[in-house]
Chains A and B, each alone.
Chain A
Amino acid sequence: MSFDLEKIRKDFPILSTQMNGKPLVFLDSAASSQKPKSVIDTIRKYYEAENANIHRGVYYLSQKATEKYEMARIKTSRFIGAACAKVVIFTRNTTESINLVAQSWGRTNIHEGDEIVLTELEHHSNLVPWQMLAQEKQAVLKFIPLNQDSTLDLTNLDEIITERVKLVALAQMSNVTGTIHDLSAIIRRAREVGAKVLIDGAQGICHLPTNVQKEDFDFYAFSAHKMLGPTGVGILYAKEEILDTMPPWMGGGDMISKVWKDKSTYADLPARLEAGTPNISGVIGFGAALEYLESVGMQEIRNHELELLQYALDRLEDFGGLELYGTNDLSKRGGVISFNFPGVHPHDVGSILDEEGIAIRVGHHCAQPFMDFKGIAGTCRASFYLYNTKEDVDSLLVGLKKVKEIFGRVLKR
């Protein structure tokens, strides 16, 4: 099927709204994507006609809700290329998925003196849980350094990933610079030393065709809300033999097998790691989001974003005076552009663009170690998704021209 941008845009009601009296130009999908009508309608339909709790009721509605919830799990496993549905655990978000691994697998398997390897480009979600675990267990955090173009410097990989390393945790794609990491070299090295690999797929899965089995991820964490689904739904995939050894991390309903006054036995996967009533409408809505993405095609989405990225980079380069971050090798980059006006703080840029109806993200993007590496307070970030157009890029440039006019006097260069 061909990539029909006009049709896609019509599927997203918010894209035809106005912001501050101007047509909305949404360039912040890396923070959270917009939702197509099919997802919104699926959630509405659930609450209007299908609402019930799952896994317990013997009545029709509960059975129906359970069926739809579990169907979303099957769709998720198919979407990421997992072997079966029970290795898909629903959480609240990527952060919770990573904390689940840290608290359950990590506390069981990481001991004093063990090492955890991260990169200097990690999002706080894939940094702070490991800091907490390392402090508790007296383990050591190590970092794969960066090249100036924000790609990973893998020259000393063998010295960084040693026999002491139990886990390597890194993002598939950076939320700040859009860098797509060369995971295969890192995974190969992790296998040599027997370390597990966790991939933070929050920014990857929404933009790149991904197959967790072919790419040999041990853990894969991501969120529904960055891939057209609702907020409050996260996913943790892990290999079945790893999940089998992971103890529960939250106790409560649904995760038990049998309960006495003084002890309990626990349910099989995936229920063992999903305590309490989950975000039922959200998971069902996520199922609709996956169907939407599949109907368009992940490779088509990737191709479209590459075209936009090239167009935007060229125009920003021509604009002059901007500091652009990230690699120019587009095979190693997704549709994210971070930049700065030297001398103008990103928040000032964000406010001026907002007035023009243009939504971008400004600040440190929850990646402060990267900002320290670059010696900057933050960046302006424009991020693309399947519904963005070259006209959106043109609007951004018009907005930036306004920033230049207003701040002309204080701009460096």
Chain B
Amino acid sequence: MSLSDSLYQEVLLDHYQNPRHHGKMEHSDLHQEGVNPLCGDEVELFLKLDGDIISEISFVGKGCSISQASASMLTDSLYGKTISEAKSLLHQFKGMLLEDKVPNFSEEYEDLESMEAVKKIPARIKCATLAWNTLEKAIGK
């Protein structure tokens, strides 16, 4: 399978075309904007918390398929999870792309593994990590 075939799989294109949890949120508890200035990709994350649990999550943004699909996968993965679970997933996702670690996602997060192919296109890693860096800023605050 060629590189772009392995990257632009059905799962990525599906998230790009039908982004999950898409839209702005009124009265969010956490709100963070992220931008890659060189390519202009934008992601804006909204989270509502119920104690430690992410009770609602959404995003808006514009940019390439990788940046937007990655944001969609992020919101899909974190809905209903705790902040510490979010941190652990963030750690795993960035580890896969930035530290070349073998991904070991549990079954419910398997969409995220499709992003591993981005590693072969170093110029696009920042697209895949944009939403996750934005999440890091949001929950780090």
Contact = CB atoms under 8 A, between A and B. Distances in A.
Given A347-B64, A377-B63, A406 B39 contact: no
B5 A348 contact: no
Interface residues of B, number: 22
Interface in A376-393: 377-378
Contacts, number: 50
A363 interface: yes
A355 B2 contact: yes
A402 B7 CA distance: 14
A324 to B, nearest CB: 20
A407 interface: yes
A338 to B, nearest CB: 15
A409 interface: yes
B119 to A, nearest CB: 13
Contacts of B2: 355
Interface string A344-372: 11111001101100000001100010000
B40 A406 contact: no
B53 interface: no
Contacts of A402: 4
A351 B62 contact: no
Contact of B4 (A344, A352, A363): A352
A347 B69 CA distance: 14
Contacts of A344: 65
A113 B52 CA distance: 56
A259 interface: no
Contacts of A363: 38-40
A377 B121 contact: no
A185 interface: no
B4 A410 contact: no
B124 A351 contact: yes
A21 to B, nearest CB: 10
Contacts of A346: 64
Given A348-B64, A352-B8, A410 B13 contact: yes
B16 interface: yes
A399 B13 CA distance: 19
Contact of B123 (A351, A378, A409): A351
Contact of A364 (B5, B40, B127): B40
Contacts of A407: 8, 13, 65
A394 B38 CA distance: 29
B4 A345 contact: no
B112 interface: no
Contacts of A368: 40
Given A348-B66, A407-B8, A355 B3 contact: yes
Contacts of B28: none
Interface of A: 344-348, 351-352, 354-355, 363-364, 368, 377-378, 402, 406-407, 409-410
Given A348-B8, A363-B39, 10 more contacts: A344-B65, A345-B63, A347-B63, A348-B64, A351-B123, A355-B2, A355-B4, A377-B62, A402-B4, A410-B65
12 contacts: A347-B66, A351-B7, A351-B121, A355-B3, A377-B40, A377-B63, A402-B4, A406-B5, A407-B8, A409-B13, A409-B17, A410-B13
- Which 3 pairs across A and B sit closest by C-beta, in order of nearness? A345-B64, A347-B64, A410-B17
